[in-house]
């Protein structure tokens, strides 16, 4: 029996498979303001999202739209320079299509990054947060609908979404580089409005440390497929209501731009170590 979601994924894969220069080990998703990371690498190939039939293309300023293939410290990687968000109006199956496609390309590890608002009062703008778990139940699950048996089971376990070994690597790399890194729970809300102060309070009461509009749904899809997952949030701001200042997309972008140099080091050195697991 055919399934339109799986058929679309296969069609996307078939239409690009001849352009993939190597089998990537790591799939890296670059969040807001972090997309420039790809420019510093020795790029071995690119595929524009708009050239892939039916592929979702980001409408958000600051998000580019292409896969980049490069070796990061020798480790073959595919990077998503730009992602799509649920609030852009795409169905959840399209939002996670790129992550699924990178698994079909051969990636074993999914490294998720984003800009996020801190909801934990111990956090400050400019902090990094290693994601230890997530709350994704405020957005529809990408697994709703007939199960894609080719990808994974109907009822996947979610006890260990963020891989302990990968977290050890990122934690120890941050320590070696002298980068302070928090460790916490990421909450995905739909956006696109930033949260009200009481929504921020809700996230905190639920055990969240950072809030954003991406990532967790991709982790649900990747966990379903048995990928090893890790994630870093760049805390670009404290969430609404925690300070008197209003929040803007520009502030988020500027803050993540400032974090980019340290972020690049942390990601590159962590991926180097991921090459040997």
| Choice among 37, 38, 88, 239 that is catalytic | 88
In order of 26, 107, 211, 227, the CA distances from 103 in angstroms are 9, 5, 26, 8
User: Cα–Cα distance between 134 and 220 in angstroms, integer?
Assistant: 10
Give least dist CB 239 to ligand HPA, A: 4
Closest to 211 (Cα-Cα) out of 222, 203, 223: 203
User: How many residues interact with ligand HPA (rule CB under 6 A)?
Assistant: 13
| Choice among 77, 80, 85, 224 that is catalytic | 85
Tell which one of 70, 78, 107, 116 touches ligand HPA (CB under 6 A). Answer: 116
Tell which one of 56, 65, 184, 212 touches ligand HPA (CB under 6 A). Answer: 212
Residue 151 bridge partners (DSSP): none
Residue 222 bridge partners (DSSP): none
Residues whose CB falls within 8 Å of the CB of residue 29, separated by 6 or more in sequence, listed in order: 79, 80, 83, 98, 99, 110, 111, 112, 113, 215, 218
The backbone region for 101, taken as left when phi is positive above 0, alpha when psi lies in -120 to 50, beta otherwise, is: alpha
Within positions 171 to 200, which residues make up the interface with ligand HPA, using CB under 6 A? 194-195
Residues whose CB falls within 8 Å of the CB of residue 82, separated by 6 or more in sequence, listed in order: 30, 35, 49, 58, 60, 63, 64, 65, 66
Q: Does 237 engage in binding with ligand HPA (CB under 6 A)?
A: yes
**32 carries an active-site annotation:** yes
**87 carries an active-site annotation:** yes
Give least dist CB 175 to ligand HPA, A: 25
**237 carries an active-site annotation:** yes
- Which of these ranges, 142-150, 165-173, 180-188, 236-244, lies near ligand HPA under the rule CB under 6 A? 236-244
Give least dist CB 116 to ligand HPA, A: 5
What is the contact mask toward ligand HPA in residues 250 to 269, using x (rule: CB under 6 A)? Answer: --x-----------------
Q: Does 30 engage in binding with ligand HPA (CB under 6 A)?
A: no
Q: What angle is formed at CA 187 by the lines to CA 272 and CA 38, rounded to 5 degrees?
A: 35
Token pair for 30: 């670059």
Catalytic residues: 32, 63, 85, 87-88, 115, 213-214, 237, 249
Q: Which residues are annotated as a binding site?
A: 32, 63, 83-85, 115, 195, 214, 237
Residue numbers of the site for ligand HPA (CB under 6 A)? 115-117, 194-195, 211-213, 236-237, 239, 247, 252
């Amino acid at each position: 029996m055919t399934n339109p979601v799986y058929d679309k994924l296969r069609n996307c894969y078939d239409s690009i498979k001849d352009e993939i220069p190597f089998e990537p080990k790591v799939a890296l998703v670059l969040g807001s303001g972090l997309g420039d990371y790809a420019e510093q690498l020795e790029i071995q190939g690119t595929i524009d999202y708009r050239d892939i039939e039916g592929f979702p293309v980001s409408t958000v300023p600051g998000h580019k739209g292409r896969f980049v293939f490069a070796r990061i410290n020798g480790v073959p990687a595919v990077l998503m320079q730009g992602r799509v968000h649920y609030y852009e109006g795409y169905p959840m199956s399209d939002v996670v299509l790129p992550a699924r496609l990178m698994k079909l390309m051969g990636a074993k590890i999914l490294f998720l990054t984003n800009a996020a608002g801190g909801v934990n009062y111990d956090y400050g703008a400019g902090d990094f947060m290693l994601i230890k778990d997530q709350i994704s139940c405020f957005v529809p699950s990408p697994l709703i609908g007939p199960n894609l048996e080719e990808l994974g089971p109907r009822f996947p376990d979610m006890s260990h979404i963020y891989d302990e070994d990968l977290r050890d690597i990122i934690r120890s790399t941050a320590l070696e580089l002298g980068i302070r890194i928090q460790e916490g729970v990421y909450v995905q809300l739909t956006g696109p409005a930033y949260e009200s102060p009481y929504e921020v309070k809700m996230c905190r009461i639920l055990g969240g440390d950072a809030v954003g509009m991406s990532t967790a749904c991709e982790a649900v899809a990747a966990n379903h497929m048995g990928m090893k997952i890790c994630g870093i949030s760049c805390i670009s701001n404290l969430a609404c209501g925690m300070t008197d200042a209003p929040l803007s997309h520009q502030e988020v972008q500027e803050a993540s731009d400032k974090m980019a140099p340290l972020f690049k080091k942390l990601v590159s050195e962590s991926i180097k170590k991921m090459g040997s697991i």
